[in-house]
Amino acid sequence: MMICSREDLTDWLVELLPDPFDYIGKTGSSYGEEIRHLEYVSRPLWAIFSLLCSGEYDERIVEPWIERIRVGLRPGELSFPYPTIKTRQICVEMGVYGFGLLSCGKSLLDRFSEEETRSLERWLNAINDIDLPWGNWYLFRIMVNYGLRQNGLSFSSKRIESDCRAVESMYVSDGWFEDGKPFQRDYYVAIVFHLYALLIDRFVPDHALKDVIARSQAFEEDFICWSDSQGRSIPFGRSLTYRFAHIGYWAAATLAKANTHDISEIKQMTLANLSFWSEQPITQDGVLSIGFGYPNILVAEDYTAPGAPFWGFKAFLLLAFDGESQFWQTKPTAPAISERRAQPAPGLLIQRGERDCFALSVMQYSAGSVLQRMGKYGKFCYSTAFGWNLSRDVDGIANFGVDSSLALSIAHTGQFVSRSRIDAWSVCERYAYSMWSYRDLVRVETWLVPIDARRHVRVHRIEAEYPMETYEGGFPVMGWSSKFDESETGSNSVRIWKMQHAQRTQISEISDAADDPSVIGRILEAAGMPQKPQDGAWCRRSPDIVRQNPNTNVLSSEPSAVPVLRVEIPAGESLFGCLVFGEELFA
């Protein structure tokens, strides 16, 4: 469906909302079932409280959720659990209640009895009794305490002061925060750090967070580049199952009057994104599913419970604007965004085209427990058009997500890895660089050079301790099959393409540098590259096509295929270079 109005968005909300009294989850998570139930009934409240805040809503939508809160505040089987160090995931879910208190205040509390209000007060204050993991969690407690304070309820000023200092210590530069230890700089910066800070700035005039508006405005200049003109966002990092939660950042920035772009541009971008998602098969059993472009448990983290995708309801912060507000009355216009933007803070170099965009990534990796970390952070390129492939196994290249990667295997073992630990990196306007390694087996220097929205160059200098089997992949083409679809293979290149639905054709090609190194050399010279990656003889590789399993591309459940260059190299130093091409054509 096309979402053009507040009515459209409300209708879609009604389609997505679960029954607050009927938990239908069937999968597990790293935390227990009691907490999973709390998550399931709490995360949709981002939408419910936004409606209540606006003063313009259908009581039939709101009241069942208010009643579920009442039940949770009373003793009984469905009462809300109290957090302890062992069950502190509960604190994550408390944040939305802080938002409800801040945004709705009396209009929310008047719906509760005196006893229920005191129960809410006691329950929320329990967040002050435990230590939290280092990272975005501190924003949940700040939100809760300010929500309590603004309504004359008991709160912890000491926690507010210490938590705001902790958040300040996580600030990096250019509007970016680092999240956790080891840190990541991904969508959590938008959907927690900035979103919560902006809402606090909107409703708490004397808050203790620093430079909220200025930092959001700096972040906005980077983050607006993460979406293409069709509304799709770059699928990068963990917790992709939140899908459109980052639209909540744009809503919060608009509520706080923090946008640098015109409200008409924000409206175009946000509604395009939500329209895109409203047309994807992302529900299962009538509710938002674990997955990304479709239900897919392989995308999950260990903390992804059945209610986790409901953080996507943060996008419905847009409903906090009533129908007569400037946001809903303005005519959407396409935002003016630069074609290329170097983003050193997250380690990305983003290239935009007329319809899609991609990010060349050189800094981030996961040294923690993120599942599928080589896919979520280790790809060289993340595209809004092609997505990327998960790995089903490390045994055999067909099972390994080889797209936008350099897959390496000690010869004759068939066990593959790609970029994981990154030891050094740099980003500038014309190229991006990383030095990476896998244990003591191999060390690689990689240079990534964007040319335009369809092409980029990769150069790799490899130092291997053992002979290595190598595959380097281009973009994955969804649904491609050698039985029915087209390909062209030359002496040094391979191209595949397929007509997708909606008269859309995907084309993916990879070409080796060895046959004509002068072409790559001129590109590197034009990019201002140092001479080092051009030294030595280019290793000649053979073109091939690797078929990948169904349910591995994050955007499509169909099998996909990846054009690759492959070669077995001896121990010692090898030099690779290639030109990667990817394009979507629309009839």
Provide the pLDDT for residue 1.
86
- Nearest alpha-carbon partner for 167 in 205, 195, 148: 195
Provide the pLDDT for residue 532.
66
Which amino acid, residue 475? F
Q: Where are the domains of the chain?
A: 6-23+34-321, 340-586
Secondary structure element (H or E) that encloses residue 54, with its range: helix 45-54
- pLDDT, tens only, 393-431: 989 999 999 999 999 999 999 999 999 899 999 999 999
Judged against a pLDDT cut of 80, whether residue 243 lies above it is answered with yes
The pTM for the full model equals 0.96
In whole angstroms, how far apart are CA 402 and each of 363, 375, 393? Answer: 19, 9, 11
For residue 420, the cross-strand partners are: none
417 vs 419: CA distance, rounded Å: 7
Provide the pLDDT for residue 517.
82
DSSP reduced 3-state for 345: coil
Residue bearing tokens 């805040």: 53
Provide the pLDDT for residue 182.
76
CATH classification (class only), 340-586: mainly beta
Q: What percent of the chain lies above the pLDDT cut of 90?
A: 92
Contact 523, 449 (CB under 8 A): yes
- pLDDT, tens only, 203-222: 999 999 999 999 999 999 99
The stretches of 230-364 forming alpha helices (DSSP H) are 247-255, 263-278, 326-329
Which residues, other chains included, contact 476 with Cβ-Cβ below 8 Å and sequence gap of 6+?
A: 386, 387, 388, 389, 403, 508, 548, 553, 560, 561, 562
Provide the pLDDT for residue 235.
98
User: Within 13 A of 90's CA, how many CA atoms are on the CB side?
Assistant: 23
Provide the pLDDT for residue 520.
85
What's the CA dihedral at 539, 540, 542, 545 to 10 degrees? Answer: 50
- pLDDT, tens only, 321-334: 999 999 999 999 99
- Nearest alpha-carbon partner for 254 in 315, 168, 211: 315
Contact 330, 426 (CB under 8 A): no
- Assess if CATH 3.30.1360.230 describes domain 6-23+34-321: no
Q: What does R_g of the chain's alpha carbons equal in angstroms? A: 25
Mean pLDDT over residues 557-585, rounded?
Answer: 97
Domains 6-23+34-321 and 340-586 share a fold: no
Secondary structure element (H or E) that encloses residue 488, with its range: strand 486-489
- pLDDT, tens only, 482-541: 999 999 999 999 999 998 876 789 999 999 998 778 888 888 888 888 766 766 689 999
Contact 554, 293 (CB under 8 A): yes
Mean of pLDDT over the chain: 96
Provide the pLDDT for residue 183.
85
- pLDDT, tens only, 8-59: 999 999 999 999 999 999 999 999 999 999 999 999 999 999 999 999 999 9
38 vs 24: CA distance, rounded Å: 13
Provide the pLDDT for residue 535.
64
Q: Is 61 left (phi over 0), alpha (psi -120 to 50) or beta?
A: alpha
Cis before 182? omega within 30? yes
